[in-house]
Amino acid sequence: MGFCKDFVWGAASAAIQIEGAAYEDGKAPSLWDVYARYPGAVYRGQNADTACDHYHRFQEDVALMKRMGLTAYRYSISWPRVLPQGTGEVNQKGLDFYDRLLDALLEAGIEPYLTLFHWDYPYALYQKGGWMNPDSSDWFAAYADRITRRYGDRVKHFITINEPECFVGAFESGDLAPFYRVHRRDYLQMAHNALLGHGKAVQAVRANCPGAACGFAATNWLKYPITDEPENVELARKRCFELNEPTVTSFPWWTEAVYLGRYPAAAVAAAGPDMPVIGQNDMALISQPLDFFGMNHYTGIPVAPDGTQGDPVFSDNAPRSTYDWPLQPRAFYYAAKFMYERYGLPILVTENGYSGNDLVSADGKVHDAYRIEQLSSYLKALRRAADEGVPVLGYFHWALMDNFEWAQGYGKRFGLAYVNFDTQERILKDSGTYYRKVIESNGEIL
């Protein structure tokens, strides 16, 4: 059966991770621009001031996408580039940049998938309380309205927010900007406000872009069975969606609200008085119908038939990325399967990839066989899900090219293209060439 005829083959990026030009043409600082400078916050004191210089080199990068054979590109808008204060007056030069990028993509025959928010929160709004502020969902709604009005004539696919488990979860874990932790009551309130912002952004897409598809991108460290025995599968499925503590770093907190209109009951009970006040229409706003399930997935947590889970049952022979994430294509198969069974929407893989210690060899090429193995094994697992009836719309590899990897700076490389951050030279890796062949065959060569 394989992938559908119109399967979407893409790669993904995020504005702050590739654009650079952090203080050019009217752009104001984001939360990451400011907090990356705090001593010890980011690997080797690195920042995103220049990153991949995509702001100046986007035409070269679109040509790179075309060379790879991509049919689609997922990218994000930098909120403080287009609205320096987060609200109010727009920065025309910022809007013009995204017009030029969008037109270049369309001219190259590459379908744009636009993410409204991928973590680059305007510092001006953070100073007003950020997602804690009761007005924060309205700030995001106004921003979403501006963007959808401006680009909705050409963009037909939108993602509202990316991985809230991370950008709100940062305030629970302290490991991402702004690199400190807050009380549970506060991060639960932030989460609720962010979800209200998501709901209002969906409304903006529906109002301004009739016929456009809209989704939400969550990440999942999925619990999956180590065997296909029905009892093991059922145990893993149950564990996958269980949430007994009110932690916003776990995907069910978000996906249950967005797709089913409720927070996990056991976690709510455990939160007690720390739960935010939920307005009468809040959950209906948060859970408006969407067009696809945006799935960011890298690895999973295996569950044995006896209920044992986690690191003790990882195979010592499983390849591991430089994040120490094991290659677990079974988890990818079950992620697509479990998410479709529970939420009933077609699956769009909005992120999936592998970080490696890539280097340029003496022949001037980058031979990343491990990433080819990741691509091949994970896409085979995804095709297995499609063969069994899971509607899979497309696949976006993370990432288009090496970039600023948050607190890891430039120390982790995910790209299909290698970037020399001193010269800004791009080199298509072996994986990029392999991916082109996969795209040309619509996955038949896997």
Residue the block writes with tokens 């030069």: 93
Alpha-carbon distance of 24 to 346, in angstroms, equals 40
- Give me the catalytic one of 19, 165, 351, 405: 351
19 is catalytic: no
Q: Which residues contact 88 (CB under 8 A, 6 or more apart)?
A: none
In the three-class reduction of DSSP (H, G, I as helix; E, B as strand; rest coil), residue 37 is classed as coil
The angle that helices 329-343 and 251-260 make with each other, rounded to 10 degrees, is 30
163 is catalytic: yes
Report how far apart, in Å, the C-alpha atoms of 220 and of each of 82, 88, 117, 190, 212 are. Answer: 30, 35, 18, 20, 25
Q: Closest Cα to residue 158, out of 200, 201, 94? A: 201
- Give me the catalytic one of 19, 163, 165, 172: 163
Hey, how many other C-beta atoms are within 10 angstroms of the C-beta on 53? 18
**Type of residue at 2:** G
In the three-class reduction of DSSP (H, G, I as helix; E, B as strand; rest coil), residue 11 is classed as strand
- 246 — alpha (psi -120 to 50), left (phi > 0) or beta? beta
Hey, how many other C-beta atoms are within 10 angstroms of the C-beta on 396? 27
Residues with active-site annotation? 163, 351
